[in-house]
Amino acid sequence: MKALFRWVALVALAFAALQLFFVGRIALMLVVDPESTTFQRSEAWRIATEKGQLRWRQQWVPYERISDNLKRAVIASEDGSFVNHDGVDWDALEKAWERNLKAEERAAKRAMLAPSRARPPKIVGGSTISQQLAKNLLLSGERSLMRKGQEFVLTMVLENTLSKQRILEIYLNSVEWGEGVFGAEGAAQHYFRKPASRLSAYEAARLAVMLPQPKRFEKMPGSSYLAGRTSTIVARMRDAELP
């Protein structure tokens, strides 16, 4: 019994130490720009091992040197209530849950009617910009309830430690925009050969639309979906509120 208690105590102590480490890392971001994220490092390792080369395009730029067009486009596309929620958009999560249930039902029906042509359902997320940043900054890409729970905890720490402007600044400088392409400046130079400060509304919306699947959309620039979705985001940008 004592051995079990000792083991549980050690696990609890390790968990508490990990949380303190995460809190310290986030607190440091009040004054220090993060050089890389956990996701970036894992992607760099994957590219290096699979292709034998280190491909990494990224350049940190301060909030003021990122076009307001891009800020508005990303908020309009990824998290319309970014400046108002406390890190989690519960309404968006509920809607995503309902859409996923319907998608699973449709997929099950198709599988019964034509098993050979069955496809997995398209699952949509309801993650906010803050949640995405928490995941990419400090966590692995593992999908589990434990990792999701840790994501929620880190999201709350981010929201209570950093300003909305700082969260958006770090997000825009670290998010993936293609294989080995990270951050607003890297994406602007890679796709449009111009600095992030000079992105037009259409160019910004085009980049924002890529965010859910950047490596896929990088390979299909002429996609009709990209063009249509870009026009939709341009129309929404005027209503996007900046921090």
pLDDT in tens, 112-164: 555 555 454 444 456 899 999 998 888 766 666 677 778 888 899 999 999 99
C-alpha span between 216 and 103 (Å, rounded): 21
Rounded to the nearest 10°, the torsion over CA 211, 122, 220, 195 is: 0
Q: What is the mean pLDDT of each run of 10 residues along the chain (243 residues)?
A: 70 73 85 89 85 81 97 95 84 58 52 53 65 85 70 89 96 94 95 97 96 90 89 94 93
Q: Which amino acid is at 78?
A: E
Task: Kindly give, in sequence order, each residue whose CB lies less than 8 Å from that of residue 73, ignoring residues fewer than 6 positions away.
Answer: 201, 204, 205, 207, 208, 233, 234, 237, 240
Check residue 10 and give its pLDDT.
Answer: 73
Check residue 19 and give its pLDDT.
Answer: 75
**135 class by beta-carbon count within 10 Å (0-12 exposed, 13-18 middle, 19+ buried):** buried
Give the residue extent of every domain in the chain.
Answer: 35-89+126-237
**Closest of 99, 148, 93 to residue 122, by C-alpha:** 99
C-alpha span between 218 and 222 (Å, rounded): 10
CATH topology of domain 35-89+126-237: Penicillin binding protein transpeptidase fold (1.10.3810)
Rounded to the nearest 10°, the torsion over CA 191, 194, 195, 198 is: -110
Q: What is the bridge-based pairing of β-strands 181-182 and 176-178?
A: antiparallel
* Cα separations in angstroms, 132 against 64, 169, 227: 22, 13, 24
pTM: 0.83
